Amino acid sequence: MIRTFDVVLPHGITLACRANDAGAAGRPRVVLLHGFPEAAFVWDEVMAALAPEVDALAPQLRGYAGSSAPADVAAYRTRHLVADLAAVIEHGGAPVDLLVAHDWGGAVAWALAAQRPELLKRLLIINSPHPATFLRELKTNPAQQRASTYMNFLCRPDAARLLAEDDFRRIWPFFGAEARRTWLTAEVMNRYREVWRAGLEGPVNYYRASPLRPATDTDRTLLGVQLDDAAVTVRVPTHVLWAERDEALLPALLDGLERWVPALTIERMPEASHWIVHEQPARVAATIRRLLAEGAAPPA
């Protein structure tokens, strides 16, 4: 059973959260972060599979239904998102045994792991590019540039209004042609409608606040972006679960990743798409269990 509650953070932000059934004290703690255009409910099957041995928490990121949604685009810059996540982890007692993150949640998790490594023991990233490889590919790889052009649409001032039109007809294609034949059931679609009807300005503000999007004739911001290696290096043991049928995030984003993530393992899934959390929740839960077991094992 999934329970819901709000967590009020010290800096005034409230995040709506979902968690699995409470069990015995001392269970491993896992925090799971969703992406766009998702919501915390995407982790429900994973959290249910982990209960009762694992204490799993999935916060609704700022800007999404039920959580605080500041109107200012600047409120969605990385430092504020990291502050939210750090406060959530500290609220439950740091460090968390495993931080799991997908898509935009991964962008926040990469930053937290680099800046506040004391808050987590291990990191699991699911189809979310490290900022250094993403910057490199957006600058130099035409294929990734084409795959990421949707980001420029989401930065438009009218993006939220356009996405909401005609029963969100511009959002459903994000999930791909096969989704409705596999996991995108009428029930799941209604859960998404409920989230999106609460507002889409917050979710698209993540794109507006980030400089990591393809350069255009009128927006050359990306070309001036440089990242300090020290600021983005993640020394926490990190496992990347990468679905290779991702049409938006291409496998070249993994090339050379060990430069910024020295304690790295990569698990590739040729048969899965970007929406692997929906497609294969049991596989995701099994990976989490394995990583927790590895983290609990005594050194050889």
All residues at 6 or more sequence positions from 90 whose CB lies less than 8 Å from its CB, including other chains: 119
DSSP string for residues in 139-180: HH-HHHHHHTTHHHHHTSTTHHHHHHHHHHTTTGGGG-TTHH
pLDDT mean across residues, the chain: 96
pLDDT over 90 at 300, yes or no? no
Per the structure, the count of domains in the chain is 1
| Measured distance CA(53)–CA(141) in Å, rounded | 43
Q: How many helices (H) and strands (E) does the chain have?
A: 13, 8
* Residue type for position 164: A
What is the pTM assigned to this prediction?
Answer: 0.96
Give tens-digit pLDDT for 99-152.
Answer: 999 999 999 999 999 999 999 999 999 999 999 999 999 999 999 999 999 999
CATH of the domain at 263: 3.40.50.1820
Note down the domain range covering 279.
3-296
Query: In this structure, what token pair is assigned to residue 299?
Result: 């050194």
* Residue type for position 192: Y
pLDDT over 80 at 296, yes or no? no
CA end-to-end span of the chain, whole Å?
37
Cis status of the peptide bond prior to 52, with omega within 30 of 0: yes
At 47, is the pLDDT very low, low, confident or very high (cuts 50, 70, 90)?
A: very high
